[in-house]
Amino acid sequence: MTFVSPEIIGIGLVTLLFTMVFVGGIGTTAGPVLGAIVINVLPAMLTRFQDYRQLAYGVMLLVVVMFMPRGLQSLASLRLTAKGLSR
């Protein structure tokens, strides 16, 4: 492929990328990496429910946004704070 056009990047890819960023945590480098790992491992865990994969992504995104607005990265910082290792 020698050019980039809007047809290459569809709504599915954009949704997947935003889900990775939000699940991992916005504002850090490790957050989106963690989100990418979780989102890439999730389909392997949901192979029996292939028809409901998009629903699982949506539910996971909703839960993270509602209960962990800073993403999974916030869990790691809470854990460090609880141990007294963080500033």
Q: List pLDDT tens digits, range 22-67.
A: 888 888 888 888 888 888 887 787 778 778 877 877 787 788 888 8
Q: Quick check: is 2 in a domain?
A: no
Fill in the DSSP letter of residue 47: G
Residue 3 lies inside a defined structural domain of this protein: no
Q: Is the pTM of this model over 0.85?
A: no
What are φ and ψ of residue 53, in 5° steps? -60, -45
Look at residue 6 and tell me if it is in a domain: no
Q: How many domains does the chain have?
A: 1
**Residue 42 located in a structural domain:** yes
- The span from the CA of 36 to the CA of 65, in Å, is 16
- Assess if residue 4 is contained within a domain: no
